[in-house]
Structure 1
Amino acid sequence: MWSSPRNLSTAMMYAFAQRSDFAVWDEPFYGPYLHATGLDHPMRDAVLADRVESAVEVEQKLLGPIPDGKPHVYHKHMCQHMVDGIPRGFMADCVNVFLIRHPARVVASFMKEIPEITAHDIGFEMQAELFDQICAMGQSPVVIDSADIRERPERMLRALCEAIGLDWDAAMLSWPKGPKPYDGIWAPVWYKSLHKTTGFAGPEGPLPKLSEEAQKLVEMAMPFYETMKDKCLRV
């Protein structure tokens, strides 16, 4: 699952984790990404201490045996993590799905934790690049909008499961409150609100009001979002 940050990606991981036939892995390349970029993200030292694998070692694990003997595994990937030096060959051996969200909502949410961000940090251009690369590998990736999931969770998750060849499992619609054993170590910063939930939130309200600088980031991201939006799963 390829997502920009602040984009329902953790809720989707929780949903798939409720299936008895799935293991999940939270942001496999976060450690190598912080190593490569030197970015000072919240809990940077703790993340690097917890995620000591090199990018190549992560790729080997992505393609290796699935934990707990499960038949499937959900990889929650952040598009912006795929910087130079992060391998991409594994994508050819995965079912790839792209999760999108309006850039204004992504920017507003991300800037609450990291006020100084760039267009790269929100991952929209990289998401479009990855989509094109996977298409060039001969796949037809599914694209799904988080707004559609929030508005019609069961309908959209049923459609997603059908599109990627999975049986429907109603367990995906809810999860227990609180931290999860499969959360990344960064969960205390980024997942606080989600830990209070037991399922998908309802439809979102109007787009947030943004500063002039934040709006510039949105304008840079919009062409990539609109291109992906045209490819969305529709039911």
Structure 2
Amino acid sequence: MLWLMRNDGVKRISVWSGPRNISTALMYSFAQRNDTKVFDEPLYAYYLKKSNAKEYHPGAEDILSTMENDGDKVLEMMMNSSEKQVLFFKNMTHHLLDLDRSFMKGLTNVILTRNPLEMLPSFDKVIKNPTIDDVGYKLHIDLIQEFRKNNIDFVVLNSKNVLLNPEGVLRQLCEHIGIPFDENMLKWKPSHRKEDGVWAKYWYDNVHKSSGFSEYKPKSEPFPKHLKPLLQECLPYYKELQKLALT
């Protein structure tokens, strides 16, 4: 794979997130940097094409018709783009499917997680009755095991920690990446961005109304009964992720 041999000095960051985390807010944060170009879920169409998720994801037809469906071509784009000194790819862990993972050696890999007590009810409002494969927790642990086995760089972020201390956590993240922290990362104008995927109308309403990272507020509504089996499945993986997260 020729892209792994590139040494062009570009910092390539890939966030491997679960859904309904703060991945879009994190993308907006990095988009405020003059040295950075952001990409919104470039593997989404590949994931839909290769899975039955196209049957229940909103906007699937638009995504498949407007984005590159070939996963290898997406990886080639990620590893060969050089428009800016820093490239930020917002990705979902479940979008990887069976792609060759060796390209990750050329990235700073960021695992982004969130407490399933808060995430699952939010996700269920858009996609009903999700499974463990839809929400990322087991896949995150599988990915970390692969990173360790192959000596691949990674860092873990917990959405709650970011919201409680945006500047502190982002400073640590930038230090890990090897780029200077930029205070512009803490605020943006309430609006959509040109980089938003065509699915933004289904998922990004809160971010479009925001001007920075929202204040963390614990969920107060009762946890849905029908999601409790999935919660019990997710919690052991989340607890492992929580131990590794920047604070």
TM-superposition CA deviations, 1:89-147 (whole Å, max 9, x none): 21111011111110121111101111121111001111111111122221341111110
Deviation at 1:204, TM superposition (A): 2.0
Match of 1:136 in 2: 149
Counterpart check, 1:46 vs 2:27? no
Q: Deviations over 1:174-197 (max 9, x none)?
A: 111111000011001110121011
Match of 2:41 among 22, 27, 33: 27
Given candidates 77, 80, 102, the residue that maps to 1:89 is 102
Q: TM-score, normalised by structure 2?
A: 0.90
| Mean Cα deviation higher: 207-216 or 120-129 | 207-216
Shift of residue 211, structure 1, vs aligned partner: 2.2
Match of 1:63 among 79, 89, 103: 79
Match of 2:7 in 1: none
Matched, 1:8 2:22: yes
Q: Mean alpha-carbon deviation: is it higher for 160-169 or for 12-21?
A: 160-169
Q: Is the 8 A contact 1:147 1:204 kept in 2?
A: no
Paired with 1:136 and 1:18, the residues of 2 have a C-alpha distance of 34
From 48, 51, 56, the counterpart of 1:37: 51
- Distance in 1 between residues matched to 2:18 and 2:113, nearest whole Å: 7
Given that residues 26 and 183 in structure 1 are in contact (C-alpha distance below 8 angstroms), is that contact kept between their aligned partners in structure 2?
A: yes
Distance 2:236 2:222 in 1: 20
Structure 1 runs (4+) greater than 6 angstroms displaced: none
Pairwise CA RMSD of aligned residues? Answer: 1.3
Q: Distance in 2 between matches of 1:125 and 1:198?
A: 32
Partner AA of 1:9 in structure 2: S
8 Å Cα contact 1:105/1:207 also seen in 2 = no
1:125-204 pair list within 5 angstroms: 125-204=138-217
Where does the alignment leave 5 or more consecutive residues of structure 2 unmatched? 1-14
Judging changes above 3 Å, is the alpha-carbon distance between structure 1 residues 18 and 55 closer, same or farther for their aligned structure 2 residues?
same
Q: CA deviation at 1:6?
A: 0.4
In 2: Cα distance, 1:88 partner to 1:42 partner: 28
User: C-alpha separation between the residues in 2 aligned to 1:83 and 1:223?
Assistant: 22
Aligned to 2:244, what secondary structure does the other structure show? coil
- TM-score, structure 1 length as denominator? 0.94
Contact 1:105/1:208, CA 8 A, preserved across alignment: no
Is the 2:121–2:224 Cα contact (8 Å) retained in structure 1? no
Return the alpha-carbon distance in structure 1 between the equivalents of residues 147 and 198 of structure 2: 29
Paired residue secondary structure (1:96):
strand
Q: Provide the aligned length of Structure 1 versus Structure 2.
A: 231
Change in Cα spacing, 1:208 to 1:7, as seen in structure 2 (3 Å) is farther
Task: Name the residue aligned to 2:87.
Answer: 73
For the pair 1:117 / 2:130, whether they are aligned, the reply is: yes
CA contact (8 A) 1:104 1:215 kept: no
Q: Is the contact made by 1:177 and 1:195 (CA closer than 8 Å) also made in structure 2? A: yes
Q: Deviations over 1:152-185 (max 9, x none)?
A: 1111111211122110100100111111000011
Q: Which runs of 5+ in 1 are unaligned?
A: none
Deviating more after overlay: 171-180 vs 3-12? 171-180
Amino acid at match of 2:227: A
Is residue 245 of structure 2 the alignment partner of residue 229 of structure 1? no
Shift of 1:53: 3.3
Residues in 2 aligned to 1:220 and 1:88: alpha-carbon distance in whole angstroms: 25
